[in-house]
């Protein structure tokens, strides 16, 4: 079943390329110290290598502090992927739990939880994150993951709740209930297998979206602290120097685009593979 | 209709209340207080700090602060801005028109391009055109909006010199221009920020409209229309699009918060004097009440947007009306 799903997901050439990109990125992030040609925060030569254009020595050029951009981007992949992966895991867990609770309990619990989700969705996500994070003196990786995780589960909870409600309408569920199946068993054997598909799709698409959000936060100056290389912060820092050094703005941004596109393509491919209507 | 509106209005007010409560407690979770966290205030003498805390009622118990905050909110008082030395409400009100103009134009572009493109894709799904457009909309949807803004600045502003890259008006010549000249100046300043916001939005909307159209074209009434021998054009415009456009009304409400998030970044890139740029400036200045105030105001805008979407839906789709 799982192998079959992978095969169906990677059927199109687009999905194969995306899978290759994601694997390369993950490997690159993991092996950053081996792959990166230079130390990402070392100022190589403030006189001779300040804002050096792309060359064979420095493929993506250097920034205003003479740091090697390619190395910074390779190390930046670590931050982006780690933050995105961990916060998506957290948000999917929260969203599934809340969705299950709302869908199974119904009544007042359901109404209360869903009104709360309505309120949270009414604050634009970036502004909500700014409200939470703007006044922390220093933002660490665990704090960022925690905050991104607990502000990203709202859609997932609605999705899971809707799936739970539809499962509850089906005959097999009524049969299981009337056979005296315990709630835990009902969830494990009947509800979760039916909501797993949409959750996997939401998680894959969510990784790309969280990378964008994290980059946006860094751009506003509320990401992981300097000098740790972060793609969003690199783009932000390039704004004043890009007139004379376009590469400082272009390459970190391209890194974000390529990563997000790859995750989106994989998410779409997974959705098509899981869709019983598609042949 | 009146009953429906009243219910929706109560719902909207409840949400704004919840948002205000959440914002209040979220911002109090951060360590420190608004006086300490102000960047230049590290050296504030303790007695001055105590005085400042007292002036703003920040030395009171949390519950009392919360009640006072709600009371103030009900009268439209969002607190005081340290960096602007005036009421937060005044600072926000001054900038709202700029954000609304930018967001409205961005939305117009996003819907105007995204919906037709998505409809064509859904109608001709699997074709070469569909594939090319799918990739295009996917890339647009995956672009960091601030980076796209910077690239457009580089290309069309600094490179080709076609459009100004910052502000809403020319700081030197604007006041000396004729009325028409001033309008033209404003339009030229709007082009790049609105295009940035619109491009990313169009990508998302095309994706959505494509799947909405795909779901419609397999329905029975389309087959019936074909069976009647209607032309493809008539089927598309009379039957398929009408049904497939319904979901994009809901999307009007859903895209609004996304657009406001985008506006924060776009306004920052283009120094556009709206509430997004205000947020950015108040993060740097550690201006506590401006951040909470803009969060609440943007939530009110979102809730109003949803209200409009609900009413539109009610008008467009009789099926959603409760049986009376």
Q: For B268, which residue in chain A has the nearest alpha carbon?
A: A220
CA distance B203 to B109: 11
Say whether B269 and A239 touch across the interface (CB within 8 A): yes
B14: contact with A, CB 8 A cutoff: yes
What tokens were used for B193? 């920020």
- Which whole-number Å values give the CA distances from B236 to B18, B123, B229, in the listed order? 43, 8, 13
Min Cα separation B181/chain A (Å): 29
The answer to whether the Cβ–Cβ distance between A243 and B27 falls below 8 Å is no
Report the pLDDT value the prediction gives residue B14, as an integer from 0 to 100.
85
A:117-156 residues touching chain B, CB 8 A cutoff: 118-128, 130-137
Contact call for B298 and A124, based on CB within 8 A? yes
Closest Cα of chain A to B230: distance in Å?
A: 27
Which A-chain residues 71-110 have CB contacts (< 8 A) with chain B? Answer: none
**Residue in A137, A208, A219 closest to B146 by CB:** A219
* CB contact at 8 A, A232 and A216: yes
Q: Which two tokens stand for residue A122?
A: 């009414």
Predicted confidence (pLDDT) per residue in A237-273, tens digit: 888 887 778 888 889 999 999 999 999 999 888 888 8
Asked if B307 is an interface residue toward chain A (Cβ–Cβ < 8 A), one would say: no
Residue B39 has pLDDT above 50, yes or no: no
Query: Rounded mean pLDDT of chain B?
Result: 83
Write out chain B residues lying below 8 Å of A135, CB-based: 27, 30-32, 34, 37, 286, 288, 291
Least confident of A73-82, B23-32, B41-50: B41-50
Distance CA A66, CA A201 (A): 41
Higher local confidence (pLDDT), B321 or B109 = B109
pLDDT surpassing 50 at residue A109? yes
Cβ neighbours of B303 in A, within 8 Å? 122
Q: What percent of chain A has pLDDT over 90?
A: 21
| A220–chain B nearest CA distance, Å | 7
Q: Which of A213, A201, A199, A219 is nearest to A263 (CA)?
A: A201
Structure confidence at residue B320 (pLDDT): 66
- Which of A29-33, A185-189, A257-261, B33-37 is most confident? A257-261
Q: Which of B19, B135, B279 sits opposite A119 (nearest CB)?
A: B19
Q: Which residues 215-274 in chain B show a CB within 8 A of chain A?
A: 257-258, 260-261, 264-265, 268-269
* pLDDT tens figures, B59-87: 778 888 888 888 888 888 888 887 778 88
What average pLDDT score do residues B94-116 get? 91
Q: Mutate which of A127, A132, A266 to disrupt the B interface (most B C-beta within 10 Å)?
A: A127
ipTM of the complex: 0.87
Q: Where are the alpha helices (DSSP H) in chain B?
A: 2-29, 46-55, 62-74, 88-123, 128-142, 145-152, 179-217, 220-227, 232-234, 241-269, 275-284, 288-316
Q: Compute the residue count for chain B.
A: 324
Query: Which pTM was predicted?
Result: 0.86
Provide the chain B residues 34-53 that lie in CB contact (below 8 A) with chain A. 34, 37
B18 and A CB contact within 8 Å: yes
Cβ <8 Å between B295 and A131: yes
Tokens of A211: 């990378």
CA distance B211 to B111: 15
d(CA A54, CA A267): 34
A30 min Cα distance to partner chain B (Å): 24
- B16, B41, B150, best to mutate vs chain A, most A CBs in 10 Å: B150
pLDDT at residue B270 tops 60: yes
Q: How far, in Å, CA of B228 to CA of B238, rounded?
A: 13
């Amino acid at each position: 079943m799982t192998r079959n799903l992978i095969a169906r997901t990677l059927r199109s050439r687009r999905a194969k390329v995306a899978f290759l990109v994601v694997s390369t990125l993950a490997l690159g992030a993991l092996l950053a110290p081996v792959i990166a040609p230079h130390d990402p925060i070392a100022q190589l030569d403030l006189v001779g290598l300040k804002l050096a254009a792309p060359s064979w020595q420095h493929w993506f050029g250097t920034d205003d502090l003479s740091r090697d951009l390619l190395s910074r981007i390779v190390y930046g992949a670590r931050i982006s992927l780690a933050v995105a992966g961990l916060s998506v895991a957290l948000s999917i867990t929260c969203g599934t739990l809340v969705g299950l609770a709302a869908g199974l309990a119904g009544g007042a619990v359901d109404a209360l939880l869903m009104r709360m989700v309505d309120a949270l969705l009414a604050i634009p996500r970036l502004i909500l994150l700014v409200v939470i994070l703007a006044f922390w003196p220093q933002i660490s990786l665990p704090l960022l993951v925690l905050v991104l995780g607990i502000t990203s589960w709202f859609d997932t909870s609605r999705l899971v709740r809707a799936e739970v409600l539809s499962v509850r309408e089906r005959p097999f569920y009524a049969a299981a209930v009337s056979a005296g199946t315990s709630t835990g068993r009902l969830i494990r054997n009947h509800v979760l297998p039916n909501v797993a598909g949409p959750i996997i799709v939401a998680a894959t698409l969510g990784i790309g979206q969280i990378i964008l959000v994290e980059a946006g936060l860094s751009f506003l100056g509320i990401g992981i602290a300097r000098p740790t290389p972060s793609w969003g912060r690199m783009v932000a820092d390039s704004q004043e120097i890009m007139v004379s050094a376009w590469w400082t703005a272009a390459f970190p941004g391209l890194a974000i685009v390529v990563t997000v596109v790859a995750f989106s393509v994989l998410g779409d491919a997974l959705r098509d593979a899981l869709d019983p209507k598609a042949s | 209709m009146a009953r429906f509106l009243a219910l929706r209005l109560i719902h909207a007010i409840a949400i704004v209340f919840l948002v205000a409560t959440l914002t209040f407690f979220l911002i109090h979770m951060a360590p420190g207080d608004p006086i300490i966290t102000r960047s230049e205030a590290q050296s504030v003498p303790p007695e001055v700090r105590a005085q400042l805390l007292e002036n703003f009622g920040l030395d009171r118990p949390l519950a009392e602060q919360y009640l006072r905050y709600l009371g103030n909110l009900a009268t439209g008082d969002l607190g005081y801005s340290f960096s602007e030395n005036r009421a937060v409400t005044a600072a926000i009100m001054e900038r709202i028109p700029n954000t609304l103009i930018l967001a409205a134009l961005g939305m117009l572009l996003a819907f105007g391009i995204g919906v037709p493109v998505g409809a064509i894709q859904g109608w001709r799904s699997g074709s070469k055109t569909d594939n090319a457009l799918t990739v295009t909309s996917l890339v647009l949807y995956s672009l960091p909006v601030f980076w796209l803004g910077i690239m457009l600045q580089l290309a069309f502003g600094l490179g080709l010199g076609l459009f100004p890259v910052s502000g809403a008006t020319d700081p030197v010549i604007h006041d000396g221009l004729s009325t028409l000249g001033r309008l033209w100046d404003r339009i030229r300043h709007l082009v790049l920020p609105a295009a940035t916001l619109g491009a990313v939005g169009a990508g998302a909307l095309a994706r959505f409209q494509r799947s909405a159209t795909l779901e419609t074209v397999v329905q029975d009434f389309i087959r019936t229309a074909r069976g009647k021998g209607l032309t493809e054009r008539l089927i598309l415009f009379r039957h398929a699009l009408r049904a497939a456009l319904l979901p994009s009304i809901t999307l009007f409400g859903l895209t609004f918060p996304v657009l406001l998030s985008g506006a924060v970044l776009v306004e920052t890139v283009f120094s556009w004097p709206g509430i997004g740029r205000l947020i950015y400036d108040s993060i740097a200045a550690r201006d506590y009440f401006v951040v909470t105030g803009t969060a609440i105001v943007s939530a009110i805008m979102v809730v109003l947007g949803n209200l409009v979407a609900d009413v539109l839906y009610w008008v467009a789709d009789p099926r959603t009306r409760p049986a009376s």
